[in-house]
């Protein structure tokens, strides 16, 4: 059984998709051991508790320095003996020590077709604003391994989504989530858990 930790910062719809897929058997051989958020107000924490999963908040704001936060974050993650760390809308940069220790064991979902609209400054709604501004007709989502760069690690899965006339960033964000993110993130976990990668 793959021991999974999910890192979140916000609403947690991707976390929900993972939990639902585990419950309905779409994802097998994997279990979420802990959900960790940097944001005490993240609804994702509530979603975890609703499923009887340990929900932990570690806010950088409560630490004296970034280094102290990084140290506590790594220590907390280590406690759960995780095989896979899933960044599901986690908007904190992963400390280098954690990337080294968990190499090829951290995956991230990004709401565009990497290498478009990714890297520093591209997160959440900003990604979809940029896609609409550029006028692309296709966008999508990407699941990739996390390395030292920003959205630069090896790509695991991608799924394209059409941009439609009249789209706002919010409408496009929702379509990318529904048609791509909520499918390929659970699928990537299933593939890793079942050694299909």
Binding of residue 142 to ligand GAR (CB under 6 A)? no
Tell the smallest beta-carbon distance from residue 181 to ligand GAR (Å). Answer: 5
Choose among 161, 126, 125: nearest CA to 142: 161
Strand, helix or coil for residue 120 = coil
Query: Is residue 190 annotated as part of the catalytic site, yes or no?
Result: no
Decide if 52 contacts 58 (C-beta within 8 A).
no
| Cα 94 from Cα 70, distance rounded (Å) | 8
| Cα 92 from Cα 106, distance rounded (Å) | 14
Lay out the site mask for ligand GAR across 23-42 (x = CB under 6 A, - = otherwise): --------------------
Q: Quote the tokens at residue 112.
A: 């565009």
Task: Count the residues of the shown chain that bind ligand GAR, applying the rule CB under 6 A.
Answer: 17
Tell the smallest beta-carbon distance from residue 124 to ligand GAR (Å). Answer: 5
Residue 136's alpha-carbon distances to 115, 155, 166, in angstroms, are: 13, 21, 13
Binding of residue 186 to ligand GAR (CB under 6 A)? no
Closer to ligand GAR by Cβ: residue 71 or 129: 129
Tell the smallest beta-carbon distance from residue 88 to ligand GAR (Å). Answer: 5
Q: Quote the tokens at residue 21.
A: 């897929």
Residue 54's alpha-carbon distances to 2, 7, 57, 122, in angstroms, are: 16, 12, 10, 29
Tell the smallest beta-carbon distance from residue 57 to ligand GAR (Å). Answer: 15
Cβ-closest residue to ligand GAR? 89
Binding of residue 14 to ligand GAR (CB under 6 A)? yes
Site for ligand GAR in 67-96 (CB under 6 A): 88-89
**Residues within the interface to ligand GAR (CB under 6 A):** 8, 10-14, 44, 88-89, 109-111, 123-124, 127, 177, 181
| Residues catalogued as catalytic | 110
């Amino acid at each position: 059984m793959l021991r999974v930790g999910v890192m979140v910062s916000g609403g947690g719809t991707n976390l929900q998709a993972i939990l639902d897929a585990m419950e309905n058997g779409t994802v097998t051989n994997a279990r979420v051991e802990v959900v960790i958020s940097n944001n005490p107000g993240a609804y994702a924490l509530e979603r975890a508790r609703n499923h009887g999963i340990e929900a932990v908040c570690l806010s950088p704001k409560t630490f004296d320095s970034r280094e102290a936060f990084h140290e506590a974050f790594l220590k907390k993650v280590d406690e759960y003996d995780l095989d896979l760390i899933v960044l599901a809308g986690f908007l904190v940069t992963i400390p280098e020590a954690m990337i080294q220790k968990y190499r090829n064991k951290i995956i991230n979902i990004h709401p565009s077709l990497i290498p478009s609209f990714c890297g520093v400054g591209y997160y959440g709604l900003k990604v979809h604003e940029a896609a609409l501004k550029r006028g692309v007709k296709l966008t999508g989502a990407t699941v990739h391994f996390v390395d030292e760069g920003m959205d630069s690690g090896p790509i695991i899965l991608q799924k394209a989504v059409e941009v439609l006339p009249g789209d706002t960033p919010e409408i496009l964000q929702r379509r990318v989530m529904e048609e791509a993110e909520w499918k390929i993130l659970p699928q990537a976990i299933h593939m890793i858990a079942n050694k299909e990668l």
